[in-house]
Amino acid sequence: MHACHEHATCVEEALGAADRICAERELRFTDLRRRVLSLIWENHGSSKAYDIMEKLGGDYSAKPPTVYRTLDFLQENGLVHKINSLNAYVGCSHPLKHKDCFFLICSCCNEVQECCASHVADTLRDMAGKNKFSPRHTTLEIEGECQDCLKKN
Amino acid sequence: MHACHEHATCVEEALGAADRICAERELRFTDLRRRVLSLIWENHGSSKAYDIMEKLGGDYSAKPPTVYRTLDFLQENGLVHKINSLNAYVGCSHPLKHKDCFFLICSCCNEVQECCASHVADTLRDMAGKNKFSPRHTTLEIEGECQDCLKKN
DNA sequence: AAACAGTATGTTATACTATAACATTGCCGA
DNA sequence: TCGGCAATGTTATAGTATAACATACTGTTT
Ligand SMILES: [Zn+2]
Ligand SMILES: [Zn+2]
Ligand SMILES: [Zn+2]
Ligand SMILES: [Zn+2]
């Protein structure tokens, strides 16, 4: 689906971007936050909160509030997104440029691709306007099958 | 937000449509199913499963599986939709014509308006195509403020 | 250094959302 | 009437998320 030849690069870039963003905003990119973001970036699928919790401490030494607070922090700063249709979380693939993005979710390989397209956003804004609605946040999640999986099957 | 001068009409229409749809498909529109759909149509907001459960039997005589099975039936037959961003359910406002719909959710008055627009669906399909993605189901939920609430505030 | 404030994390408990598995009931045709 | 199947009931449990309060860490002021 994606084209990351060397996935370690994805992780490093994500962590590097997080470092810079937190520095700029004078936020603390603590060890816990870094570990959670890193776990989320282990692959290009989405991660469930309780799976992250287990990975943080096999013995459940990390408790739910710890995980959810960390996820909240990462979301607030645009470093991860929640996929509402899955109750799961993905790393933002372009945290500084993120705007009006949406998600293509392959239910075969579970990968999630984050996309931006200004004309999609424009279309939605127009549509909202015609309905006299003032949008604040859009959830757009498209479930289906990615090219690789289509080919395989 | 919506323009139902006599909300009873909305409820009756919804129940009537359900009757017809179930008859056509040789499904049983049982008392329970009718009651749940009716409760959901009490207003134009979204309903939480556990609230429906309480209304079904103040003493919690209705248990979760009863409610969720009924909601599943109603969803499968296009009579209600789940709003993933709220974990809540709304009645479908046009069950026979439903196709590529999306939702405008006012976080002020909590009303949910269901909209269809073929050009929105077209735009999304094109976009998916450009990403070589074969979409199966789209979740599009726009949170914001409706005209009435904008005026009021 | 000691006191302090503010942020981050730990801990315990609980709320909220949803499903599995099996029992019972009710409907309908053979 | 019997058998089969769909619907509902029942009990238990899984899965997702937050409230409330305690402790620890970071950096600043005195
Ligand atoms: Zn993003
Ligand atoms: Zn795939
Ligand atoms: Zn609909
Ligand atoms: Zn409103």
Contacting A residues, span 40-69, partner chain B, CB-CB under 8 Å? none
How many A from CA of B144 to the centre of ligand 4?
8
Pick from A137, A134, A127, A100: nearest CA to B142: A137
Give the three-class secondary structure for B146: strand
Q: Are strands B133-146 and B101-106 parallel, antiparallel or unpaired?
A: parallel
Percent of chain A with pLDDT over 90: 88
Across all strands, nucleotide nearest A65 (CA–C1'): D18
pLDDT the model gives residue A58 = 55
Q: Where in chain B is the domain with CATH 1.10.10.10?
A: 7-91
Q: How far apart are CA B90 and CA B139, in angstroms?
A: 14
Residues of each domain in chain B carrying CATH 3.30.1490.190? 101-152
DSSP B23-67: HHTT----HHHHHHHHHHTTSSB-B-HHHHHHHH-TTS-S-HHHH
Whether the CB of B69 is less than 7 Å away from nucleic strand D comes out as: yes
The CATH class of the A7-91 domain is: mainly alpha
Three-class SS of residue B83? Answer: strand
What's the gap in Å between the CA of A109 and the closest CA on chain B?
Answer: 13
CA B125 – CA B134 distance, rounded (Å): 8
Domain boundaries B101-152, corresponding CATH code: 3.30.1490.190
Closest Cα of chain B to A104: distance in Å? 7
Are B142 and A120 within 8 A, CB to CB? no
- Write the pLDDT tens digit of every residue in A126-137: 999 999 999 999
Q: How far is CA A69 from CA A64, A65, B45, in A?
A: 8, 6, 29
Cα of A82 from ligand 2 centre, angstroms: 19
Contacting residues 25-44/A vs strand D (CB within 7 A): none
Position B60 scores a pLDDT of 56
* Token duo for residue A49: 């909160």
User: What is the per-residue pLDDT across B3-17, written as a single tens digit (0 to 9) for each?
Assistant: 678 898 999 999 999
Beta pairing class for B88-91 and B80-83 = antiparallel
Q: DSSP for A79-114?
A: SEEEETTTTEEEE-S-TTT--SEEEEEETTT-BEEE
Over the stretch A65-99, which tens digit does the pLDDT of each residue have? 999 999 999 999 999 999 999 999 999 999 988 88
Residue A46 exposed, middle or buried by CB count within 10 Å (0-12, 13-18, 19+): buried
